[in-house]
């Protein structure tokens, strides 16, 4: 996961002169923004109240209202997080304010959109959920101007991260017996979607045509919310880029411990024991009084690296996500889903024990399906397949098998810089840079025909899907709908576009066989 080292505000310092100040009236009050190159940008708009103090580890509450005109020219605070270890030696978070009053969003819209009247003039809406292992990142780092320039209203939002966003403790659970628990990050995204439904028409967007899309942990959240009964009516299309929950193999629960997978409540008890050693039975008030910096420090020291994923809580997620898809309990909406060709770039700089593999399957069985690989190569390939390739295609198959429109892709494109660096494939998150403007990716030269063609292709497919629930459209290479059962056509996104009729292969079929056995054995629900 790579993030910009400069904030959007700094990027604007070298941008062309801004036009007259745009202004819109929201349910909360009026807000002004900035206009640049035909795009209106409104930043730092709160969509929920402060989540600090007594509101920590509670469902998000209604956003504040204000009098006068709120200044929306600058990003709002980002949610508490540790410095990004993958930011190239620089801490990009230093360019932003940070705190628990962080549930804010940014809106990018064509300048003429807010002038439209009536349903006919409303544009498709796209709501972006950033990645970062649900531990780091912010919607503020993604400039949505390229997408807005193609005729959509683009929203980027923040959600609570780390143990502030994914947390449970028996005392907190007992205090709120009727409230959603644990998956606070998902609750925040749902709150953002409700804000969009109420306010997006002011920016020219259609509240009845919303596409939820995300990458990495943002993709995990997107696919999880497709399986949530609380998502009904909040979005009509979904795009999952490089990530779905892994509940089949690793079913995480709010209060149920499993071998090798402690419940979120157990994790919370361990944190409390470390940070409140003199309080064997801490109260919710004592837990909420802990400085957020101490919680983040504990998280980084005590929790293993990797993503924090939604847990099965009985409310937001009543059952494991993959099981919900298998049973047809997900939202019956069009879906695009895919990976990059080198997802294992996430693990390229780590030495990981091969025991990670043999905890999941017998050694003889693994070696039969992954012959001739040295330990490190085996671990990396196994993690790529079980973390991305197999579960993504499992979700695609399940969605298509129930008759819901599905399109599957693999992002294969290598920029000249990636080729020069010797990348064996498109790295995890490389696709983001063709959809958004990111200040730390100035090595992408869109003056080159191949790079601009790649951007045009990505923007074309994504925007067409947002408009019509189908990525196909004028001047775009044909993209066949996924047929299910692992044998559909995968669109290989590159210049030129290619197609692959069967990317499952024996290894993917092996994993899908394992998944079926796990579900048949009764993966706990």
Report, as residue numbers or ranges, the catalytic residues. 216, 343, 428
Closest CA to 151 of 507, 487, 522, 473: 473
DSSP category for residue 240: E
Residue 302's alpha-carbon distances to 80, 289, 296, 331, 478, in angstroms, are: 17, 20, 10, 36, 48
CB atoms within 10 A of CB 466: 28
Closest CA to 215 of 155, 330, 132: 132
State the Cα–Cα distance between residues 133 and 81, nearest whole angstrom. Answer: 11
DSSP category for residue 465: H
State the Cα–Cα distance between residues 80 and 96, nearest whole angstrom. Answer: 11
Pairing of strands 406-411, 104-110: unpaired
First CA to last CA distance, the chain: 31
Contacts with 275 (C-beta within 8 Å, 6 or more apart), sequence order: 290, 294, 295, 298
Token pair recorded at residue 134: 């649900």
Q: Is 185 in contact with 134 (CB distance < 8 Å)?
A: yes
Closest CA to 441 of 88, 31, 50: 88
State the Cα–Cα distance between residues 33 and 11, nearest whole angstrom. Answer: 16
Helices (H), 416-497: 416-420, 449-468
Residue 38's alpha-carbon distances to 19, 52, 76, in angstroms, are: 9, 37, 23
Contacts with 120 (C-beta within 8 Å, 6 or more apart), sequence order: none
State the Cα–Cα distance between residues 69 and 81, nearest whole angstrom. Answer: 30
Pairing of strands 69-71, 104-110: unpaired
DSSP category for residue 389: I
DSSP lists the bridge partners of residue 22 as: none
Angle between helices 184-199 and 217-226 (to 10 degrees): 70
State the Cα–Cα distance between residues 445 and 448, nearest whole angstrom. Answer: 6
Token pair recorded at residue 445: 């030269």
Token pair recorded at residue 386: 């079980």
Closest CA to 335 of 249, 250, 428, 214: 214
């Amino acid at each position: 996961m790579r993030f910009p080292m400069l904030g959007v505000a700094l990027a604007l310092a070298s941008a062309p002169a801004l036009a007259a100040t745009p202004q819109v009236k929201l349910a909360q009050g009026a807000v002004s923004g900035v206009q640049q190159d035909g795009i209106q940008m409104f930043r730092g708009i709160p969509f929920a109240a402060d989540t600090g103090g007594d509101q920590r580890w509670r469902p998000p509450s209604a956003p504040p209202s204000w009098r006068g005109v709120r200044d929306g020219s600058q990003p709002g605070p980002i949610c508490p997080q540790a410095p990004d270890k993958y930011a190239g030696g620089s801490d990009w978070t230093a360019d932003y304010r940070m705190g628990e009053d962080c549930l804010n969003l940014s809106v990018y819209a064509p300048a003429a959109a807010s002038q439209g009247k009536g349903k006919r003039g409303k544009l498709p809406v796209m709501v972006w959920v950033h990645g970062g292992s649900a531990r780091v990142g912010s919607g503020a780092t993604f400039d949505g101007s390229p997408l807005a320039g193609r005729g959509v209203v683009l929203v980027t939002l923040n959600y609570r991260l780390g143990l502030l966003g994914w947390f449970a403790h028996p005392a907190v659970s007992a205090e709120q017996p009727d409230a959603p628990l644990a998956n606070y990050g998902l609750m925040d995204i749902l709150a953002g979607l409700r804000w969009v439904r109420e306010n997006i028409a002011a920016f020219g967007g259609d509240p009845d045509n919303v596409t939820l899309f995300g990458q990495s942990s943002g993709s995990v959240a997107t696919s999880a919310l497709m399986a949530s009964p609380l998502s009904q009516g909040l979005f009509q299309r979904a795009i999952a880029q490089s990530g779905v929950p892994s509940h089949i193999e690793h079913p995480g629960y709010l209060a149920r411990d499993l071998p090798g997978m402690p419940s979120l409540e157990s994790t919370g008890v361990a944190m409390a024991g470390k940070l409140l050693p003199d309080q064997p039975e801490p109260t919710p008030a004592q837990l909420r009084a802990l400085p957020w910096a101490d919680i983040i420090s504990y998280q980084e020291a005590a929790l293993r690296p990797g993503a924090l994923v939604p847990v099965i809580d009985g409310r937001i997620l009543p059952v494991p996500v993959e099981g919900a898809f298998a049973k047809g309990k997900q939202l019956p909406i069009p879906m695009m889903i895919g990976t990059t060709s080198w997802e294992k770039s996430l693990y390229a700089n780590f030495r990981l024990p091969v025991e990670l593999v043999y905890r999941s399957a017998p050694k003889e069985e693994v070696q039969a399906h992954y012959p001739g690989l040295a330990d490190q190569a085996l671990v990396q390939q196994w993690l790529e397949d079980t973390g991305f390739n197999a579960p993504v295609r499992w979700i695609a198959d399940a969605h298509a098998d129930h008759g819901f429109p599905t399109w599957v892709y693999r992002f294969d494109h290598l920029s000249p810089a990636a080729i020069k660096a010797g990348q064996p494939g498109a790295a995890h998150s490389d696709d983001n840079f063709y959809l958004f403007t990111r200040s730390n990716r100035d090595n992408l030269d869109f003056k080159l025909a191949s790079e601009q063609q790649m951007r045009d292709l990505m923007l074309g497919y994504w925007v067409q899907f947002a408009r019509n629930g189908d990525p196909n459209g004028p001047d775009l290479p044909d993209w066949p709908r996924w047929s299910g059962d692992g044998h559909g056509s995968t669109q290989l996104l590159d210049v030129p576009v290619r197609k692959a009729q069967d990317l499952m292969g024996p290894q993917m079929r092996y994993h899908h066989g394992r998944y079926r056995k796990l579900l048949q054995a009764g993966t706990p629900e």
